[in-house]
């Protein structure tokens, strides 16, 4: 049991760090599970990798609660309208991935959740980040805040988010790439990605949990309860720190460093697959 607790602790750290950095949280957790598999059922592990994201969502709500609250007493009527407009655009951006996820969730689980797929997407989108940042090196982005993103831009970002349904792509990575491509600044792109995570991850977590409960029932073992609670709590604490780090980092640096990280990690995973797979 204590070995599983240690594994859950590290998975929580991985989730908390990689959910917000554009390097793929699910991809990293799949890779970790390949090396250090937990002694739980495959069905529980599939559900756990998604439900643990609730800790990361809570971190966003904690940090940005006042900004996302349209009824905050600190806001005048104009500010409340801007907040409601922002929330509306977040919901619009969430729709494309929600539709595709509902239609193809089981197929994605069955055929794409492998470390080979993760490695390929890590490299592919790593290259994409480097190319985009190189081409936009001295570019002045017209949209400086998440509130100023248009409905059309939000929908485009949502379409890019559909790419994240492939493991290793990264939900934050795909939305940030989409935002940069439509003229949104790095800081606004990162923040809109945080906000977009709330409905998307809540929906994905809820869907996975319902499917698991319908197929496996409500009888969690003591180890499974411990793994779920510990992993989620650690993901929350780490996410708070990482969100604050990333918003400060992108004000002064580009996303290219994450592109290089993805490429190196993807190559290492491919080598692992060739030698030991």
Confidence check: pLDDT of 60 > 80: yes
More reliable by pLDDT, 111 or 77: 77
| Range 209-230 average pLDDT | 81
pLDDT in tens, 236-250: 999 999 999 999 999
Q: Could you tell me what percent of the chain has a pLDDT over 90?
A: 55
| Range 7-19 average pLDDT | 92
| Range 69-85 average pLDDT | 93
pLDDT in tens, 126-164: 999 999 999 988 888 999 999 999 999 999 999 999 998
More reliable by pLDDT, 71 or 111: 71
> At 91, phi and psi to the nearest 5?
-65, -40
Predicted pLDDT of residue 17? 94
Predicted pLDDT of residue 256? 95
Confidence of residue 235 (pLDDT cuts 50, 70, 90): very high
Confidence of residue 277 (pLDDT cuts 50, 70, 90): low
What is the residue-wise DSSP string for the chain? -HHHHHHHHHHHHHHHHHTTTTT-HHHHHHHHHHHS--SS-HHHHHHHHHHTHHHHHHHHHHHSHHHH-TT-TT--HHHHHHHHHHHHHHHHHHHHHHHHHHHHHHHHHHHT-SHHHHHHHHHHHHHHHHHHHHHTTT---SB-SGGG--HHHHHHHHHHHGGGGSTTS-HHHHHHHHHHHTTB-HHHHHHHHHHHHHHHHHHHHHHHHHHHHHHH-S---HHHHHHHHHHHHHHHHHHHHHHHHHHHHHHHS-SHHHHHHHHHHHHHHHHHHHHH-
What is the rounded average pLDDT for all residues in the chain? 89
pLDDT in tens, 188-200: 999 999 999 999 8
Question: Which of 48-52, 201-205, 231-235 is predicted most confidently?
Answer: 231-235
Domain boundaries, the chain: 2-276
More reliable by pLDDT, 108 or 172: 172
Predicted pLDDT of residue 86? 97
More reliable by pLDDT, 266 or 155: 155
Predicted pLDDT of residue 59? 95
More reliable by pLDDT, 264 or 34: 264
Confidence of residue 41 (pLDDT cuts 50, 70, 90): confident
| Range 77-83 average pLDDT | 94
Predicted pLDDT of residue 102? 82
């Amino acid at each position: 049991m204590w070995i599983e607790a240690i594994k859950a602790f590290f998975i929580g750290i991985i989730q908390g760090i990689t959910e917000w950095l554009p390097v793929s949280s699910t991809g990293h957790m799949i890779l970790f599970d390949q090396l250090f598999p937990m002694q739980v059922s495959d069905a529980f592990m599939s559900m756990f990798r998604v439900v643990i994201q609730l800790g990361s969502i809570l971190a966003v709500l904690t940090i940005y609660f006042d900004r996302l609250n349209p009824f905050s007493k600190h806001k005048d009527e104009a500010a409340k309208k801007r907040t409601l407009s922002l929330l509306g655009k977040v919901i619009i951006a969430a729709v494309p991935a929600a539709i595709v996820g509902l239609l193809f969730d089981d197929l994605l689980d069955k055929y794409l959740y492998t470390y080979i797929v993760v490695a390929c997407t890590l490299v592919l989108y790593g290259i994409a980040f480097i190319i985009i940042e190189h081409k936009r090196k001295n570019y002045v982005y017209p949209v400086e805040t998440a509130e100023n993103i248009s409905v059309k831009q939000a929908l485009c970002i949502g379409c890019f988010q559909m790419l994240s349904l492939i493991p290793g792509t990264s939900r934050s990575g795909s939305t940030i790439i989409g935002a940069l491509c439509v003229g949104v600044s790095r800081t606004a792109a990162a923040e809109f990605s945080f906000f977009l995570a709330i409905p998307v991850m809540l929906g994905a977590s809820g869907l996975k949990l319902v499917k698991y409960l319908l197929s496996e029932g409500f009888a969690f073992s003591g180890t499974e309860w411990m793994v779920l609670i510990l992993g989620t709590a650690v993901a929350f604490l780490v996410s708070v720190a990482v969100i604050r780090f990333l918003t400060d980092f992108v004000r002064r640096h580009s996303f290219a460093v994450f592109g290089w990280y993805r490429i190196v990690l993807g190559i290492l995973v491919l080598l692992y697959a060739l030698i030991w797979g």
